[in-house]
Structure 1
Amino acid sequence: MEDVYISISLDGSFNTNNVTFSFSDDTGVFFIRDVLTYIIVSIGLPLTLLAIYALYLLVRNDHVAPIYVINLLITDLFQLCCMIVWLTRDKNLLVTVIFIGIYDHCMGASVCFMVCIILYYRYLVIAHPLWYRFRRTIKSSVAICVVAWVLPVVIVLFPSVIPYFFLLPFPLFIFFLVGTVRALCASISVPSDEKRRIVGTLVLVLLIYTLLFLPYIILILIVGISHLSGLALLPVLLSPLADLLLYVFMKKGIIDKFLASVCCCRMDSNDINGEREREIKDRDDTETVIY
């Protein structure tokens, strides 16, 4: 990111801090990146705006979970805007530095909100429902979002911490996924379709992070920022489109049929026979995990 983003994301060469990066010979890489960027922006921008509006309608005093997904999509919105600026090939140094900083910050914030989604949106509501029930307020959610927006400032001010900042959430994702699956296996009050959607959301977030962010982080640790190829950024550019799938997992309907066929979460025969009765009886207990 930082210096590398300046060289890769613009016209192939740029000089900053007495270090020159040049990728002008990789015309094929830049052509692929530009085509990919046009596709991502044209598809992602309108869909992201629609998803943010739809999720905003879900936010109520007793339904605060979509707040974290909304903020994740807002970070994607800023990233898409930065991509539009890159396509203009602006040569102004100040404009370049500002939008590189915004993009880096929003990438860090998107990872922070991924952690929030898995922790507050899934893990706590399943593994520690009583703790979550008494703390699921708009005020606490807003405070967490503020922290998630402020924390990535460190990667803009200190570029050397970039790989460690992005690598830290990986063990957290694994821990929360395992903990949530264990809690779901012991739960008899959560309907089977909700179990599948919960596990599906966790797996989706982990896949987005593993396939799009983790390879870039590993490359930074192995070869260093200044030796990265322009191809290393291509998976990261896809993150705004991948995050839109989280909105799909919040809606009931076709996704439930797909997850049912995959059988992400198996139910006991007793749970199948008594699902409807328990759903009515435990409606208050399961309200925090039903959208």
Structure 2
Amino acid sequence: MALNFNHTNSKNINDLGNICGIDFSQDAIFLPAMYGIFFIVGTPLNVLALAGLYRLVKTEKVVAVYVMNLLLADLIQLFTLPMWMDYYKNGHYWRYGPGACQFMGYSFYISVYVAIFLRCIIALERHLAIARPWMFQGLSKLKVAGWLTLGVWVLIAVPPSAALNKLFPVHENYTLCIEKYPSEGNFITYKLITLLLSFIVPLTFILVLHIKTLRSLMAVSALPPEEKKRIKDFLTLLVVAFIIVLGPYHFIGCVKYVGLLLHSDACAWEKVVFVPYQLGRGLLSLNSLLDPVLYMFLRNDFRSAVGVYVPCLQWVTWGLSQPRASVAVECSTAD
């Protein structure tokens, strides 16, 4: 049975941007449900992590600067989710005006791409702490970390803001928000470039660092096997989380937009990839749950706080402790 969205004119209005006649009831349940879970669970987790990080920044722990900015990006994304839930629940009917649509779309995607590059920085920081401790000591300054994170925000946020109307066009005559079926040529080119540069390049960078860091870790004779395993598990989780969160959206996105360039019937192809693409979009917000888990691996004090305030997560943090036999690792994470 078709869902009743209580907007008598919404279908006719949306048809202006939905020439293909996509059935928007297909994601009206699973996408709001996913966003609801991420918002309810992810918001307190990220706030709790930020509360612990505030003290660490004052003690000049560089890794805290990077993780804090990562969690801030997650919170920005989380705060957009209620409006997206309303949008998808009501059959892709945006009722807050074109300006709000533009701002919410911009905020959501900026938070995603800032988080991508912050994960690259965290992977590099872990590599230097283990494999290049002399270089790490020279770069482990709050001023350096502050300028580096500021550079990431500026690099990701400023160029799109200068071309906001091109990337997130305002459509006064219909109520779809940042989507059009079928997608047009210039937008397809833009999406393919961003999908490749924001996933393939960072993933390659993180994987290369992962392999090199593990090799260096195995060569550290001072660490017992169980402590090496814990560090290895953290590094592996960083890679796996990157792939799980970003992989589906970027892979399906590339398939979608390459298919639009090659397929003779663009609307038929849009209908085929609609649900998988929307599912990949929903998984982008899974980082709001996984990023605090990464922080649990790094901080003993946060693991203790989680055990007290969120007892159901004790099993996640039990047994995870920061190795103390390596000066290189301790200098970046010790209390």
TM-score tier after normalising by the smaller chain length: 0.7 to 0.9
SS at match of 2:56: coil
Write out aligned runs for 1:133-148 (5 A): 133-148=137-152
**Could you report, residue by residue, the CA deviation over 1:166-186 in whole angstroms, capped at 9, with x for unpaired residues?**
221111111110111111111
Verify: 1:220 aligned to 2:253, yes or no. Answer: yes
User: TM-score, normalised to structure 1's length?
Assistant: 0.78
One of 158, 164, 181 as aligned partner of 2:196: 164
- Say if 1:116 and 1:12 are closer, same or farther in 2 by CA, change over 3 A: farther
Show the counterpart of 1:94.
Answer: 99
Verify: 1:245 aligned to 2:293, yes or no. Answer: yes
Bigger Cα Rg: 2
Asked if 2 retains the 8 angstrom alpha-carbon contact of 1:79 and 1:106, the reply is yes
**Could you report, residue by residue, the CA deviation over 1:199-230 in whole angstroms, capped at 9, with x for unpaired residues?**
22221111111112112111121221973422
Show the counterpart of 2:307.
Answer: none
User: For the residues of structure 1 that align with 2:281 and 2:68, how far apart are their CA atoms?
Assistant: 24
SS at match of 1:188: coil
**Could you report, residue by residue, the CA deviation over 1:8-33 in whole angstroms, capped at 9, with x for unpaired residues?**
xxx999879x8547776242422111
Contiguous gaps of at least 5 residues in structure 1: 1-10, 261-274
User: For the residues of structure 2 that align with 1:65 and 1:110, how far apart are their CA atoms?
Assistant: 14
Show the counterpart of 1:151.
Answer: 155
After alignment, is 21-30 or 181-190 more displaced? 21-30
Verify: 1:198 aligned to 2:198, yes or no. Answer: no
User: For the residues of structure 2 that align with 1:27 and 1:184, how far apart are their CA atoms?
Assistant: 50
- Say if 1:132 and 1:27 are closer, same or farther in 2 by CA, change over 3 A: same
**Could you report, residue by residue, the CA deviation over 1:51-85 in whole angstroms, capped at 9, with x for unpaired residues?**
11112222245421121111111101000011122
After alignment, is 170-179 or 196-205 more displaced? 196-205
- Say if 1:187 and 1:41 are closer, same or farther in 2 by CA, change over 3 A: same
Asked if 1 retains the 8 angstrom alpha-carbon contact of 2:32 and 2:84, the reply is no
Asked if 1 retains the 8 angstrom alpha-carbon contact of 2:297 and 2:320, the reply is no
One of 272, 281, 284 as aligned partner of 1:236: 284
User: For the residues of structure 1 that align with 2:237 and 2:35, how far apart are their CA atoms?
Assistant: 23
Asked if 1 retains the 8 angstrom alpha-carbon contact of 2:130 and 2:328, the reply is no
- Say if 1:206 and 1:55 are closer, same or farther in 2 by CA, change over 3 A: same
Write out aligned runs for 1:124-139 (5 A): 124-139=128-143
One of 23, 29, 32 as aligned partner of 1:31: 29
User: For the residues of structure 1 that align with 2:54 and 2:11, how far apart are their CA atoms?
Assistant: 39
Asked if 2 retains the 8 angstrom alpha-carbon contact of 1:13 and 1:20, the reply is no
- Say if 1:236 and 1:180 are closer, same or farther in 2 by CA, change over 3 A: same
What is the Cα-based RMSD across aligned positions, in Å?
Answer: 3.1
User: For the residues of structure 1 that align with 2:230 and 2:143, how far apart are their CA atoms?
Assistant: 26
**Could you report, residue by residue, the CA deviation over 1:102-150 in whole angstroms, capped at 9, with x for unpaired residues?**
1011100010111011001x10111110011022100000011012212
Asked if 2 retains the 8 angstrom alpha-carbon contact of 1:12 and 1:24, the reply is no
Aligned amino acid, residue 118 of structure 1? A
Write out aligned runs for 1:6-85 (5 A): 20=18, 25-85=23-83
Residue identity (%): 22
- Say if 1:62 and 1:164 are closer, same or farther in 2 by CA, change over 3 A: same
User: TM-score, normalised to structure 2's length?
Assistant: 0.68
